[in-house]
Amino acid sequence: MPGPEDFDFDLPAEQVAQHPSPSRGDARLLVLAPAGAAPPLHHAHARELPRWLPDGALVVVNDSRVVPARIFLAGPDRSFELLVCDPRPGQTAGAVFTAWVRGARRLRPGDILTGADFACRYLGVVDPNDPRARRFEITQGELLTSLATAGQIPLPPYIRRTADATDAARYQTLYASHPGSVAAPTAGLHWEPDVLAALDLVHITLHVGPGTFLPMEAADVRDHRVAAEHAVITADAAARILAARREARPIVAIGTTATRALEAVAARHGELVAYDGPVDLVITPDHRFRVVDHLVTNFHLPRSSLLMLVCCFGGRARVLSAYGEAVRAGYRFYSYGDCMLVSRA
């Protein structure tokens, strides 16, 4: 029975990146050679990615845009910090949204929270099994407009500082175009215009929610669940990816978010199709990969479903060995950290 302890590693606290690299391409890139190749690892930099990709690669990126989804709203007797979980265009009066709330135990159904020409009514807990998520109904204003005016970039809690003007640009990919994420698809943060111009790109969208990064607590990781996230794969994107597969061209996913979107849709429908809707796939050791051949990804939290995904993709022993080398070589970890290129085991 695979448990969270099977996807664990030790990391010195000083290797958790608190700031982005001086420029995007300065991030380090750890290349895992195909199984059995020698040497098994290569040390490079992000700006060198094109030379390490296989010939003919079709590169799939997640173009979701991070929303400044952390906002403070005034309640009946105090202010509350909300992390909006599902921000999207068009959420106006009457729409219901979900948020994680600091101090939520002091809220009562019917309480009104206000701020920045915006107001919402507290409705209660979404699911008794998930006390973090709370439901609100908008009574005044438009959610994205209010977040743009008064919200903050929701940096992960392991970045121990307040978001600043630098984060508004650097915690965003250069190709981000569809607002809806509360966390960046971080593998995409490293690519500068000249690198992107050298790649054959396909854009898909997965709006990243906060639950993706929670540690796995189930004794059997196959029982771990995440909240659904919204994915969009256009007909053109699906056609290009399917055509590349027919031509035996390798499919490279930039990030676990792109990987989950592609694999979730292919698993649900038997092959990749155009899609616009929720996905909640957790990739566990029994998953059969149908689309992605190579993965570019940041280094993830221990005991997280994202580290499990990478281990399932590249082979657990191989990936955890690479993590050990990354620690020894002083790589920077997590959202603002370095990245790795992994081929499917």
My answer on whether 44 and 130 are in the same domain is no
My answer on whether 124 and 209 are in the same domain is no
CA distance 174 to 43: 24
Give domain status of residue 155, yes or no.
Answer: no
Q: What is the mean pLDDT of the chain?
A: 94
Residue 111 region by backbone torsions, left for phi larger than 0, else alpha for psi between -120 and 50, else beta: beta
Task: Look at residues 150, 184, 216 and tell me which one is the last residue of a structural domain.
Answer: 150
Structural contact between residues 11 and 302, judged by C-beta atoms closer than 8 angstroms: yes
CA 77 to chain centre: 35
My answer on whether 98 and 243 are in the same domain is no
Residue 213 pLDDT class (50, 70, 90 cuts): low
My answer on whether 169 and 223 are in the same domain is yes
Query: What CATH number is associated with residue 206?
Result: 3.40.1780.10
Task: Look at residues 124, 150, 176 and tell me which one is the last residue of a structural domain.
Answer: 150
My answer on whether 35 and 80 are in the same domain is no
The range of the structural domain enclosing residue 38 comes to 4-66+164-343
My answer on whether 281 and 331 are in the same domain is yes
Cα–Cα distances in angstroms (integers) from residue 127 to residues 98, 132, 133, 182, in the given order: 11, 9, 7, 20
The continuous run of DSSP H or E covering 266 comes out as helix 256-269
Q: Could you give the number of structural domains in the chain?
A: 2
* For residue 190, pLDDT beyond 80: yes
pTM: 0.94
Please give the pLDDT value at position 126: 87
Cα–Cα distances in angstroms (integers) from residue 28 to residues 49, 95, 125, 162, 319, in the given order: 10, 43, 42, 25, 17
Spatial CA neighbour of 160 closest among 16, 53, 272? 16
Length of the chain: 345
Asked whether the CA dihedral 289, 232, 70, 155 is positive or negative, the reply is positive
Give domain status of residue 159, yes or no.
Answer: no
Structural contact between residues 138 and 95, judged by C-beta atoms closer than 8 angstroms: yes
What are the tens digits of pLDDT across the range 87-125?
999 999 999 999 999 988 899 999 999 998 999 999 999
Task: Look at residues 98, 116, 150 and tell me which one is the last residue of a structural domain.
Answer: 150
CA distance 114 to 233: 36
Residue 282, C-beta contacts closer than 8 angstroms, at least 6 positions apart: 224, 225, 226, 305, 308
* For residue 216, pLDDT beyond 80: no
My answer on whether 330 and 251 are in the same domain is yes
Please give the pLDDT value at position 228: 86
My answer on whether 144 and 168 are in the same domain is no
Q: What is the mean pLDDT of residues 155-181?
A: 95
What are the tens digits of pLDDT across the range 36-74?
777 889 999 999 999 999 999 999 999 999 999 999 999
Query: What CATH number is associated with residue 113?
Result: 2.40.10.240
Q: What is the mean pLDDT of residues 198-223?
A: 83
